[in-house]
Structure formats: C-alpha cells, structure tokens
C-alpha cells in the first residue's frame, strides 16, 4: 500500500481560480507561517468541532497570527476546505498495482475512503459539495478505480459513473453513521440521548402500528442490531453485485 504525494506540477482547480487574489494578499509582506501549518490547524479544529470551527479568524487565533495573514496562503474558506480535503485524501492507501479482480480493487478503494471519512467526518461533507478537481491527490483513487474496470471492457464513461456511485455510497453511509452517533447541533449527553432513543423505540413497539419495524426496534433494544461495519459491507456487496451484472451484460453484447 502507498499514499499519494503532492505532484509539484499539478495545482488544484481552486488554487488556479484564486491565484491572483492570493498573490495580491502576499504583497503586504511574508508572514512566518506555512500553508501546511494553516491547513493542519484547520483539520485539527474540524476533527474536534466540525467544519463550523474553521473560520479564518478562529484559525488565526490558534496560530497567534492576524486574520489577514492567512490570506497570503489561502484565498478564502473555499480554498482552505479544498486544501484540507486534499490533505485528508492523501491518507488513502492503495496497492501499487491492480489485482486480477476489479471487485477486490473497488472494495479496497471504498474501504480506504471510508476509513478517511471516519477519521475525519468533515471529509464526507466536503466530498458531497466539492468538485473532484479541487483535490489533486484524489485523482490517484479515481485513476485506480477507472483502471480496475478498463481491462474488463467497460467504457471509461460508464466506469466513471460506477466510481462516482461507489464514492457516493461511502459518503452517504458515513454521513448517516455520523448523524446517528451525534445529530448536527445536538449537545445532549450521549447517555441522555441513548435513554431518549430507547424510550422512543419502546413506544413505537408498544403502539402496535408498525409490526415489521418493531422487530427491528426490538433487535436494536436488545443490542442485536448490525454493527455499522456489517451494514456497510452488505450495502457495498449489493452495489458491486449490480456492477458485476453490468459487466456481464456488456460482455454478452
């Protein structure tokens, strides 16, 4: 397994869009900071408190610098989030080469992305709203997935659609897991929230109006619900079964 390193000849789209603005900001003098230091500080804040904590003012306070100093390195918050996403996606570890199984290769890519999203929950949020070209190091995973399907005769455009589908599945399941653990904006103590969820499920079961769901609710109350990892693997398996069917259909044409 290896992780991607920055390509010195490849700049993100967001940096190209904002390059003039950043150059103007640097004319006032060169502060004793680095772009990496700013991005790492923003990632640490986002890991602990969410993306809402990554304002330029808050990061400047953490670094003991003036807010305007940061604009000499990142043009705005959008550029900062793109840099954070690129840095986090560098944690994806992929094999140097492909296996003989496209399915195994896509599973590796999906699980690696899920690992990053679980370590940094904000990554799933950004992947749902950020163009892929904003994070150059993500292109290695895109290339890996496309190349995994190419030998099996799939058109690159359809392969790209499948890659997006797998990525969307990973992002969606991660967002769901995160919201179930701690709903957005909720500050309740975990024990208090769990007690409320238990009371809610018990009243649903007692109502008798939802017999099938009540069986699931009873399993949840008894601690017999599937682990998030099991849920993820079931969904991924079903999704890739569909991809396999597509490959089979194309091969029979």
Domain ranges of the chain: 13-89, 189-222
Q: What contacts 159, CB < 8 A, 6 or more positions away?
A: 145, 146, 149, 150
Instruction: Tell me the per-residue pLDDT of 74-84, one tens digit each, with 9 for 90 and over.
Output: 989 999 999 99
Going by pLDDT thresholds of 50, 70 and 90, the confidence category of residue 250 is low
Q: What is the pLDDT of residue 181?
A: 60
Higher pLDDT, 193 or 201: 201
CB neighbours of residue 65 within 10 Å: 16
124 touches 171 (CB < 8 A): yes
User: Is the pTM above the cut of 0.85?
Assistant: no
Rounded Cα distance, 145 and 105, in Å: 7
- Tens of pLDDT, residues 110-162: 999 999 999 999 999 999 888 878 888 899 999 999 999 999 888 999 999 99
**Which pLDDT belongs to residue 24?**
43
pLDDT tens readout for residues 91-106 = 999 999 999 899 999 9
Lowest mean pLDDT among 47-56, 118-127, 185-194: 185-194
State the burial class of residue 78 (Cβ atoms within 10 Å of its Cβ: 0-12, 13-18, 19+).
Answer: middle
Distance CA 152, CA 101 (A): 10
Q: Which CATH architecture has domain 13-89?
A: Orthogonal Bundle (1.10)
pLDDT class of 179 with cuts at 50, 70, 90: confident
The percentage of the chain sitting over the pLDDT mark of 70, rounded to a whole number, equals 83
Cα separation, 106 vs 98, in Å, equals 10
Tell me what pLDDT residue 28 has.
47
Q: Which residue's entry shows tokens 């000849």?
A: 9
Cα–Cα distance, 201 to 183 (Å, whole number)? 17
Cβ neighbors of 175 (< 8 A, separation 6 or more) are 124, 125, 128
How far separated are the first and last CA of the chain, in Å rounded?
36
Residue 171 CB neighbours (<10 A): 19
Task: Tell me what pLDDT residue 241 has.
Answer: 96
pLDDT of residue 27: 44
Highest mean pLDDT among 5-9, 15-19, 127-131 belongs to 127-131
pLDDT of 196 strictly over 50? yes
Band (pLDDT 50/70/90 cuts) for residue 63 is: very high
Distance CA 21, CA 78 (A): 13
Q: How far apart are CA 150 and CA 155, in angstroms?
A: 7
Mean pLDDT over each residue of the chain, to the nearest integer = 86
pLDDT, tens digit, for every residue of 214-248? 999 999 999 999 999 999 999 999 999 999 998 87
How large is the average pLDDT for residues 168-182? 85
Which class for 138: exposed (0-12), middle (13-18), buried (19 or more C-beta within 10 A)? buried
Indicate the burial class of 22 (C-beta count within 10 angstroms; 0-12, 13-18, 19 or more): middle
Dist CA 243 CA 246 (whole Å): 5
DSSP secondary structure letter of residue 53:
G
- How many CA atoms, within 13 angstroms, populate the side-chain half-sphere of residue 42? 30
């Amino acid at each position: 397994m290896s992780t991607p390193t920055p390509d010195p000849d490849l700049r993100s789209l967001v940096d190209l869009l904002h390059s003039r603005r950043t150059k103007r900001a640097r004319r006032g003098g060169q502060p004793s900071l680095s772009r990496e230091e700013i991005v790492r500080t923003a990632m640490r804040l986002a890991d602990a408190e969410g993306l809402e904590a990554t304002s330029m003012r808050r990061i400047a306070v953490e670094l003991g610098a003036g807010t305007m100093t940061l604009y000499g390195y990142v043009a705005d918050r959008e550029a900062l989030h793109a840099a954070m996403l690129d840095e986090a996606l560098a944690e994806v570890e992929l094999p140097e080469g492909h296996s003989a199984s496209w399915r195994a290769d896509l599973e590796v890519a999906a699980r690696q992305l899920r690992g990053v999203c679980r370590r940094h929950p904000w990554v799933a949020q950004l992947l749902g709203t950020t163009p892929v070209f904003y994070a150059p190091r993500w292109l290695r995973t895109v290339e890996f997935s496309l190349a995994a399907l190419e030998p099996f005769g799939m058109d690159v455009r359809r392969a790209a659609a499948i890659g997006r589908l797998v990525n969307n599945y990973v992002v969606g399941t991660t967002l769901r897991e995160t919201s179930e653990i701690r709903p957005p904006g909720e500050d309740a103590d975990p024990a208090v929230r769990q007690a409320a969820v238990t009371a809610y499920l018990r009243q649903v079961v007692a109502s008798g109006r939802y017999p099938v769901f009540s069986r699931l609710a009873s399993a949840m109350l008894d601690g017999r619900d599937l682990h998030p990892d099991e849920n993820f693997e079931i969904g991924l398996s079903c999704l890739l079964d569909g991809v396999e069917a597509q490959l089979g259909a194309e091969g029979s044409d």
